[in-house]
Amino acid sequence: MTRLLAAALALAGLTACAPPGPAASAGKLVVAGYGGSYQEAFEQAVLPGFEKSCGCEVTYVAGSSTDTVAKLKAQKDAPQIDVALIDDGPQAQAVQAGLLAELDPGTVTRLDKVAKVARLPGDVGVGFALTATGLAYNSDWYADNGLKPPERLADLADPKLKGKVVLPSISNTYGVGALMLAARAGGGSESDIGPGFEGIEKVAANAFTFDTTADVSNYFLQGQAVASVWGGSRVETLADKDFPITFVYPEEGAIPLVATANVVNGAPHADLAQKFVNALLQPGIQEKLAAEGYDGPTVSDATLDAALAARVVGPEQAAGMTPLDWNAVNGARAAWTDRWTKEVERS
Protein backbone atom coordinates (compact mmCIF):
# COMPACT_ATOMS: atom_id res chain seq x y z
CA MET A 1 0.00 0.00 0.00
CA THR A 2 2.78 2.44 0.82
CA ARG A 3 4.37 2.48 -2.64
CA LEU A 4 1.23 3.56 -4.43
CA LEU A 5 0.07 5.84 -1.65
CA ALA A 6 3.28 7.80 -1.96
CA ALA A 7 2.55 8.35 -5.63
CA ALA A 8 -0.97 9.40 -4.74
CA LEU A 9 0.27 12.08 -2.40
CA ALA A 10 2.47 13.51 -5.10
CA LEU A 11 -0.55 13.74 -7.37
CA ALA A 12 -3.10 14.87 -4.82
CA GLY A 13 -0.81 17.33 -3.09
CA LEU A 14 -2.84 16.99 0.11
CA THR A 15 -4.55 20.24 -0.75
CA ALA A 16 -6.70 19.94 2.36
CA CYS A 17 -3.98 21.70 4.28
CA ALA A 18 -2.30 24.78 2.85
CA PRO A 19 1.38 25.41 3.69
CA PRO A 20 1.74 27.56 6.81
CA GLY A 21 2.70 31.18 6.53
CA PRO A 22 5.89 32.59 8.07
CA ALA A 23 4.15 33.36 11.34
CA ALA A 24 2.53 29.95 11.70
CA SER A 25 3.89 27.67 14.40
CA ALA A 26 4.29 23.96 13.84
CA GLY A 27 1.97 21.67 15.77
CA LYS A 28 2.42 18.11 16.93
CA LEU A 29 -0.42 15.84 15.88
CA VAL A 30 -0.99 12.40 17.44
CA VAL A 31 -2.89 9.88 15.30
CA ALA A 32 -3.98 6.56 16.78
CA GLY A 33 -4.94 3.90 14.26
CA TYR A 34 -4.60 0.45 12.83
CA GLY A 35 -1.32 -1.43 12.95
CA GLY A 36 0.27 -3.67 10.32
CA SER A 37 0.04 -2.54 6.70
CA TYR A 38 -2.10 0.47 7.66
CA GLN A 39 0.58 1.76 10.02
CA GLU A 40 3.29 1.25 7.42
CA ALA A 41 1.26 3.09 4.81
CA PHE A 42 0.48 6.04 7.03
CA GLU A 43 4.01 6.43 8.40
CA GLN A 44 5.77 6.18 5.05
CA ALA A 45 3.32 7.88 2.75
CA VAL A 46 0.44 9.79 4.30
CA LEU A 47 2.20 11.34 7.28
CA PRO A 48 5.29 12.83 5.57
CA GLY A 49 3.15 14.58 2.96
CA PHE A 50 0.80 15.96 5.59
CA GLU A 51 3.72 17.13 7.75
CA LYS A 52 5.27 18.96 4.82
CA SER A 53 2.07 20.69 3.76
CA CYS A 54 1.06 21.71 7.28
CA GLY A 55 4.43 22.38 8.86
CA CYS A 56 3.57 19.97 11.66
CA GLU A 57 4.89 16.79 13.22
CA VAL A 58 2.79 13.63 13.39
CA THR A 59 3.17 10.68 15.73
CA TYR A 60 1.32 7.48 14.83
CA VAL A 61 0.22 5.21 17.69
CA ALA A 62 -0.76 1.72 16.48
CA GLY A 63 -3.42 -0.44 18.07
CA SER A 64 -6.71 -2.18 17.48
CA SER A 65 -9.93 -0.18 17.47
CA THR A 66 -10.83 -1.42 20.95
CA ASP A 67 -7.35 -0.56 22.21
CA THR A 68 -7.63 2.95 20.82
CA VAL A 69 -11.05 3.50 22.41
CA ALA A 70 -9.68 2.26 25.72
CA LYS A 71 -6.88 4.84 25.49
CA LEU A 72 -9.38 7.59 24.73
CA LYS A 73 -11.41 6.63 27.80
CA ALA A 74 -8.31 6.59 30.00
CA GLN A 75 -7.27 10.02 28.69
CA LYS A 76 -10.73 11.58 28.71
CA ASP A 77 -9.84 14.33 31.19
CA ALA A 78 -6.53 15.11 29.47
CA PRO A 79 -6.56 13.84 25.86
CA GLN A 80 -3.21 13.03 24.28
CA ILE A 81 -4.57 11.74 20.96
CA ASP A 82 -5.84 14.11 18.28
CA VAL A 83 -7.18 11.74 15.58
CA ALA A 84 -8.56 8.23 16.09
CA LEU A 85 -8.92 5.77 13.20
CA ILE A 86 -11.37 3.09 14.39
CA ASP A 87 -14.00 0.68 13.08
CA ASP A 88 -17.61 1.77 13.17
CA GLY A 89 -18.64 -0.52 16.05
CA PRO A 90 -16.10 0.74 18.60
CA GLN A 91 -16.59 4.24 17.17
CA ALA A 92 -20.22 4.16 18.27
CA GLN A 93 -19.06 3.30 21.79
CA ALA A 94 -16.65 6.24 21.73
CA VAL A 95 -19.44 8.58 20.62
CA GLN A 96 -21.71 7.42 23.43
CA ALA A 97 -18.89 8.05 25.90
CA GLY A 98 -18.49 11.62 24.63
CA LEU A 99 -14.94 10.99 23.43
CA LEU A 100 -15.27 12.35 19.87
CA ALA A 101 -15.96 15.80 18.44
CA GLU A 102 -18.13 16.95 15.55
CA LEU A 103 -16.31 17.63 12.31
CA ASP A 104 -16.11 21.25 11.21
CA PRO A 105 -17.58 21.54 7.68
CA GLY A 106 -15.52 24.69 7.20
CA THR A 107 -12.36 22.59 7.43
CA VAL A 108 -13.58 19.14 6.46
CA THR A 109 -14.91 20.49 3.19
CA ARG A 110 -15.36 17.14 1.45
CA LEU A 111 -18.19 15.77 3.57
CA ASP A 112 -20.66 16.36 0.77
CA LYS A 113 -18.64 13.90 -1.36
CA VAL A 114 -19.02 11.06 1.18
CA ALA A 115 -21.43 8.17 0.54
CA LYS A 116 -24.46 7.89 2.80
CA VAL A 117 -23.23 4.65 4.37
CA ALA A 118 -20.03 6.41 5.49
CA ARG A 119 -21.67 9.59 6.83
CA LEU A 120 -21.99 9.21 10.58
CA PRO A 121 -24.74 10.70 12.80
CA GLY A 122 -24.13 14.38 13.48
CA ASP A 123 -20.89 14.15 11.46
CA VAL A 124 -19.10 12.99 14.58
CA GLY A 125 -16.35 11.31 12.56
CA VAL A 126 -16.56 10.07 8.98
CA GLY A 127 -15.93 6.84 7.11
CA PHE A 128 -12.78 6.96 4.99
CA ALA A 129 -12.67 3.32 3.84
CA LEU A 130 -15.36 0.71 3.25
CA THR A 131 -15.53 -3.04 2.93
CA ALA A 132 -18.30 -5.61 3.34
CA THR A 133 -18.97 -8.65 5.48
CA GLY A 134 -20.31 -11.46 3.31
CA LEU A 135 -19.46 -14.99 2.23
CA ALA A 136 -16.13 -16.41 1.07
CA TYR A 137 -15.64 -19.77 -0.63
CA ASN A 138 -12.94 -21.84 -2.35
CA SER A 139 -14.16 -21.85 -5.94
CA ASP A 140 -11.97 -24.78 -7.03
CA TRP A 141 -13.18 -27.01 -4.18
CA TYR A 142 -16.81 -26.16 -4.88
CA ALA A 143 -16.38 -26.94 -8.60
CA ASP A 144 -14.49 -30.17 -7.93
CA ASN A 145 -17.23 -31.34 -5.56
CA GLY A 146 -20.15 -30.28 -7.75
CA LEU A 147 -21.47 -27.69 -5.31
CA LYS A 148 -23.28 -24.57 -6.40
CA PRO A 149 -21.56 -21.39 -5.12
CA PRO A 150 -23.20 -20.07 -1.93
CA GLU A 151 -25.76 -17.31 -2.33
CA ARG A 152 -26.94 -16.91 1.27
CA LEU A 153 -25.62 -17.67 4.73
CA ALA A 154 -27.90 -20.70 5.04
CA ASP A 155 -26.02 -22.35 2.17
CA LEU A 156 -23.09 -22.86 4.53
CA ALA A 157 -25.30 -25.28 6.49
CA ASP A 158 -25.12 -27.80 3.60
CA PRO A 159 -24.19 -31.22 5.11
CA LYS A 160 -21.54 -31.60 2.40
CA LEU A 161 -19.61 -28.81 4.17
CA LYS A 162 -19.43 -30.65 7.50
CA GLY A 163 -16.08 -29.82 9.12
CA LYS A 164 -15.13 -27.52 6.24
CA VAL A 165 -16.46 -24.19 7.52
CA VAL A 166 -14.62 -21.69 9.69
CA LEU A 167 -16.81 -19.13 11.38
CA PRO A 168 -15.63 -15.90 13.02
CA SER A 169 -16.08 -15.63 16.76
CA ILE A 170 -18.60 -13.20 18.23
CA SER A 171 -15.54 -11.48 19.74
CA ASN A 172 -14.71 -9.84 16.40
CA THR A 173 -16.75 -7.69 14.04
CA TYR A 174 -17.13 -10.42 11.43
CA GLY A 175 -18.79 -12.61 14.08
CA VAL A 176 -21.32 -9.88 14.79
CA GLY A 177 -21.83 -9.61 11.03
CA ALA A 178 -22.47 -13.36 10.73
CA LEU A 179 -25.05 -13.21 13.50
CA MET A 180 -26.79 -10.25 11.89
CA LEU A 181 -26.81 -11.93 8.46
CA ALA A 182 -28.68 -14.82 10.07
CA ALA A 183 -31.01 -12.45 11.91
CA ARG A 184 -31.93 -10.52 8.78
CA ALA A 185 -32.46 -13.72 6.80
CA GLY A 186 -34.87 -14.92 9.48
CA GLY A 187 -36.78 -11.68 9.75
CA GLY A 188 -34.98 -10.53 12.90
CA SER A 189 -32.97 -7.43 13.71
CA GLU A 190 -30.63 -5.93 16.28
CA SER A 191 -33.58 -5.74 18.68
CA ASP A 192 -34.90 -9.21 17.75
CA ILE A 193 -31.82 -11.42 17.66
CA GLY A 194 -33.58 -14.77 18.20
CA PRO A 195 -33.73 -15.62 14.46
CA GLY A 196 -30.04 -14.81 14.25
CA PHE A 197 -29.09 -17.46 16.79
CA GLU A 198 -31.44 -19.99 15.19
CA GLY A 199 -29.79 -19.45 11.80
CA ILE A 200 -26.19 -19.29 12.94
CA GLU A 201 -26.53 -22.51 14.98
CA LYS A 202 -27.39 -24.42 11.80
CA VAL A 203 -24.22 -23.15 10.10
CA ALA A 204 -22.17 -23.71 13.25
CA ALA A 205 -22.93 -27.44 13.01
CA ASN A 206 -20.52 -27.48 10.04
CA ALA A 207 -17.83 -25.32 11.66
CA PHE A 208 -14.60 -26.92 12.81
CA THR A 209 -13.44 -23.77 14.59
CA PHE A 210 -14.42 -20.19 15.47
CA ASP A 211 -11.66 -17.73 14.59
CA THR A 212 -10.98 -14.84 16.98
CA THR A 213 -8.36 -13.03 14.88
CA ALA A 214 -10.56 -11.78 12.02
CA ASP A 215 -8.01 -13.34 9.61
CA VAL A 216 -8.90 -16.81 8.39
CA SER A 217 -6.35 -16.88 5.55
CA ASN A 218 -4.36 -19.81 6.92
CA TYR A 219 -7.44 -21.99 7.26
CA PHE A 220 -8.13 -21.58 3.55
CA LEU A 221 -4.48 -21.92 2.51
CA GLN A 222 -4.05 -25.14 4.50
CA GLY A 223 -7.23 -26.64 3.06
CA GLN A 224 -9.01 -26.81 6.42
CA ALA A 225 -11.72 -24.37 5.35
CA VAL A 226 -13.59 -24.05 2.08
CA ALA A 227 -16.17 -21.48 3.20
CA SER A 228 -16.55 -18.72 5.77
CA VAL A 229 -18.15 -15.43 6.70
CA TRP A 230 -15.43 -12.88 5.97
CA GLY A 231 -14.58 -9.42 4.66
CA GLY A 232 -14.39 -8.55 0.99
CA SER A 233 -11.04 -6.75 1.24
CA ARG A 234 -9.46 -9.73 3.02
CA VAL A 235 -10.80 -12.12 0.39
CA GLU A 236 -9.30 -10.03 -2.41
CA THR A 237 -5.95 -9.83 -0.62
CA LEU A 238 -5.85 -13.63 -0.40
CA ALA A 239 -6.90 -13.93 -4.05
CA ASP A 240 -3.80 -11.90 -4.96
CA LYS A 241 -1.76 -14.91 -3.80
CA ASP A 242 -3.30 -16.90 -6.66
CA PHE A 243 -5.63 -18.68 -4.26
CA PRO A 244 -9.04 -19.67 -5.73
CA ILE A 245 -11.23 -17.71 -3.33
CA THR A 246 -14.33 -15.70 -4.20
CA PHE A 247 -16.36 -13.15 -2.26
CA VAL A 248 -20.16 -13.19 -2.38
CA TYR A 249 -22.60 -10.43 -1.47
CA PRO A 250 -25.29 -12.61 0.15
CA GLU A 251 -28.94 -12.34 -0.78
CA GLU A 252 -29.86 -11.15 2.71
CA GLY A 253 -27.56 -8.15 2.18
CA ALA A 254 -23.89 -7.71 3.02
CA ILE A 255 -22.99 -5.91 6.23
CA PRO A 256 -20.92 -2.73 5.74
CA LEU A 257 -17.70 -2.44 7.71
CA VAL A 258 -16.58 1.18 7.85
CA ALA A 259 -13.17 2.47 8.90
CA THR A 260 -13.75 5.88 10.46
CA ALA A 261 -11.57 8.94 11.03
CA ASN A 262 -12.39 10.98 14.12
CA VAL A 263 -11.28 14.15 15.89
CA VAL A 264 -10.94 13.49 19.61
CA ASN A 265 -13.07 15.66 21.88
CA GLY A 266 -10.71 18.15 23.53
CA ALA A 267 -7.85 17.21 21.19
CA PRO A 268 -4.68 19.23 21.90
CA HIS A 269 -4.44 20.17 18.20
CA ALA A 270 -8.04 20.16 17.07
CA ASP A 271 -7.50 22.38 14.01
CA LEU A 272 -4.76 20.13 12.64
CA ALA A 273 -6.89 17.10 13.43
CA GLN A 274 -9.76 18.46 11.33
CA LYS A 275 -7.36 19.08 8.44
CA PHE A 276 -5.97 15.57 8.69
CA VAL A 277 -9.44 14.05 8.45
CA ASN A 278 -10.15 16.12 5.36
CA ALA A 279 -6.88 14.92 3.81
CA LEU A 280 -8.00 11.30 4.13
CA LEU A 281 -11.05 12.14 2.01
CA GLN A 282 -8.95 13.31 -0.95
CA PRO A 283 -9.68 11.18 -4.05
CA GLY A 284 -6.00 10.40 -4.69
CA ILE A 285 -5.57 8.88 -1.24
CA GLN A 286 -8.84 6.97 -1.49
CA GLU A 287 -7.90 5.55 -4.90
CA LYS A 288 -4.60 4.20 -3.66
CA LEU A 289 -6.11 2.72 -0.51
CA ALA A 290 -8.41 0.81 -2.86
CA ALA A 291 -5.52 -0.28 -5.09
CA GLU A 292 -3.40 -1.63 -2.26
CA GLY A 293 -5.85 -2.87 0.37
CA TYR A 294 -9.12 -3.27 -1.58
CA ASP A 295 -10.89 -0.80 0.68
CA GLY A 296 -13.70 0.82 -1.22
CA PRO A 297 -13.56 4.62 -1.54
CA THR A 298 -16.18 6.53 0.41
CA VAL A 299 -16.04 9.68 -1.74
CA SER A 300 -17.94 10.06 -4.98
CA ASP A 301 -15.11 11.59 -7.03
CA ALA A 302 -12.59 8.78 -6.59
CA THR A 303 -11.93 7.06 -9.92
CA LEU A 304 -10.97 3.39 -10.24
CA ASP A 305 -10.23 1.33 -13.35
CA ALA A 306 -12.81 -1.33 -14.18
CA ALA A 307 -10.75 -4.28 -12.94
CA LEU A 308 -10.14 -2.72 -9.54
CA ALA A 309 -13.69 -1.40 -9.22
CA ALA A 310 -14.98 -4.96 -9.58
CA ARG A 311 -12.98 -6.01 -6.50
CA VAL A 312 -14.03 -3.36 -4.00
CA VAL A 313 -17.28 -2.07 -2.59
CA GLY A 314 -18.58 0.32 -5.21
CA PRO A 315 -21.35 2.94 -5.15
CA GLU A 316 -24.02 0.41 -6.15
CA GLN A 317 -23.08 -2.08 -3.42
CA ALA A 318 -22.67 0.69 -0.85
CA ALA A 319 -26.13 2.03 -1.61
CA GLY A 320 -27.61 -1.43 -1.08
CA MET A 321 -26.04 -2.08 2.31
CA THR A 322 -27.80 -1.26 5.58
CA PRO A 323 -25.44 -0.29 8.42
CA LEU A 324 -25.84 -1.97 11.76
CA ASP A 325 -27.46 -0.08 14.60
CA TRP A 326 -24.26 -0.14 16.60
CA ASN A 327 -25.83 1.49 19.65
CA ALA A 328 -28.24 -1.42 19.88
CA VAL A 329 -25.52 -3.97 19.11
CA ASN A 330 -23.11 -2.59 21.68
CA GLY A 331 -25.83 -2.45 24.31
CA ALA A 332 -26.69 -6.12 23.78
CA ARG A 333 -23.27 -7.50 22.93
CA ALA A 334 -22.38 -8.83 26.38
CA ALA A 335 -25.63 -10.81 26.47
CA TRP A 336 -25.09 -11.99 22.88
CA THR A 337 -21.56 -13.14 23.72
CA ASP A 338 -22.81 -15.16 26.67
CA ARG A 339 -25.54 -16.75 24.58
CA TRP A 340 -23.12 -17.42 21.67
CA THR A 341 -20.74 -19.23 24.03
CA LYS A 342 -23.52 -21.43 25.39
CA GLU A 343 -25.48 -22.10 22.20
CA VAL A 344 -23.17 -21.66 19.21
CA GLU A 345 -19.65 -22.60 20.27
CA ARG A 346 -20.76 -25.31 22.67
CA SER A 347 -18.76 -28.51 22.39
Q: Residue 288 above 50 pLDDT?
A: yes
In the chain, the number of structural domains is 2
Domain identity same for 246 and 277: no
Domain identity same for 171 and 306: no
Higher pLDDT, 62 or 20: 62
Domain identity same for 184 and 230: yes
Q: Residue 106 above 80 pLDDT?
A: yes
CA 19 vs CA 109, 110, 270: distances in Å: 17, 19, 17
Q: Could you report the per-residue pLDDT of 170-211, keeping only the tens digit for each? A: 988 999 999 999 999 999 999 999 999 999 999 999 999 999
Comparing C-alpha atoms, which of 208, 207, 296 is closest to residue 256? 296
Which pLDDT score is estimated for 46? 80
Q: How confident is the model at residue 289 (pLDDT cuts 50, 70, 90)?
A: confident
Which pLDDT score is estimated for 293? 85
Highest mean pLDDT, choosing among 7-16, 33-42, 184-193: 184-193
Domain identity same for 46 and 85: yes
Domain identity same for 43 and 142: no
3-state SS assignment for residue 198: helix
Distance CA(170)–CA(344), nearest Å, equals 10
Domain identity same for 329 and 192: yes
Which pLDDT score is estimated for 6? 42
What is the radius of gyration, based on Cα positions, of the chain?
20
Q: Could you report the per-residue pLDDT of 116-139, keeping only the tens digit for each? A: 999 999 999 999 999 999 999 999
Q: Taking a C-beta distance cutoff of 8 angstroms, is the pair 332, 192 a contact? A: no
Distance CA(229)–CA(214), nearest Å, equals 10
Domain identity same for 251 and 295: no
Domain identity same for 149 and 190: yes
Domain that holds residue 302: 2-130+256-319
Domain identity same for 246 and 293: no
Domain identity same for 110 and 63: yes
Higher pLDDT, 280 or 292: 280
Domain identity same for 109 and 148: no
Q: Averaged over 218-240, what is the pLDDT?
A: 95
- The CATH code of the domain that includes 16 is 3.40.190.10
